[in-house]
Structures are given as C-alpha cells and as structure tokens.
Amino acid sequence: MDASELERLDARLRDEVNVPAGDDARIRASLETAALYVERAIGGYSVPGAVRDDCIISCAADLYNGRDARLGVMDAGDPTLTQPFRVSSDPLRGVWAKLNAAGVPTGGLVVA
C-alpha cells in the first residue's frame, strides 16, 4: 500500500471507528494488515477499486477494534450495558459477503 492510498484510507477508517485524531500507529497497522488480508481474499479476481477500499476499511475496523474484544467479547465500557458484545475473531467476516457480491466466489463452508 503506497503512502497516498494509506492517507486516503486513513481518513475513512478514522471515521468508521470514530477516532478523529491520535492512535496513528494502530490505525496504520490495521490498514496495512487489512490490505494484505483483502488482497489474499481477492486472489486473482478483479474487483472495482471502490469495493476493494470498502473491504479494506471493513477489515481494518475489525482489526482495530479487536484489541477491545479479546476472546470475541467486547466490553463497551458503559456500566449501564449489562450484555457483552460478541465480535467475530475472523477479520474478514465483514468482507466475505461483499466480495461474493462483487463476483469473487468466497464460498460458505470452511473445513479445518
């Protein structure tokens, strides 16, 4: 990911995760890692740039928020909330359906 693309996606990710300033290293690491995951998920298929960017932002947001969701449970930090939020441990969970809709066959079954 080049510097101009990183800068462009930085603003979108900050808007997505509601972090207007600061935490630069974590934002950058989330974007760089998400870009690698998404490129691997796309494989040899061709997708429009807007779809690719949307997938990177979705994945990066999940990676960024993952620190606050250890073992898949996120504490919102609000004492009035009694139920924990369940968060998928798959950073591409929000990406699979988007890629499938864009013509990348992602499948629906994972066999370990």
Q: How far apart are CA 21 and CA 55, in angstroms?
A: 22
pLDDT value at residue 89: 72
Q: Where are the domains of the chain?
A: 3-102
| Whether this model's pTM surpasses 0.95 | no
Q: Which residues neighbour 80 within 8 Å (Cβ) at sequence distance 6 or greater?
A: none
User: Residue 11: helix, strand or coil by DSSP?
Assistant: helix
Residues lower than pLDDT 50 in the chain: 110-112
pLDDT value at residue 32: 96
pLDDT value at residue 74: 59
pLDDT value at residue 11: 93
Nearest Cα to Cα of residue 6 among 37, 20, 22, 27: 27
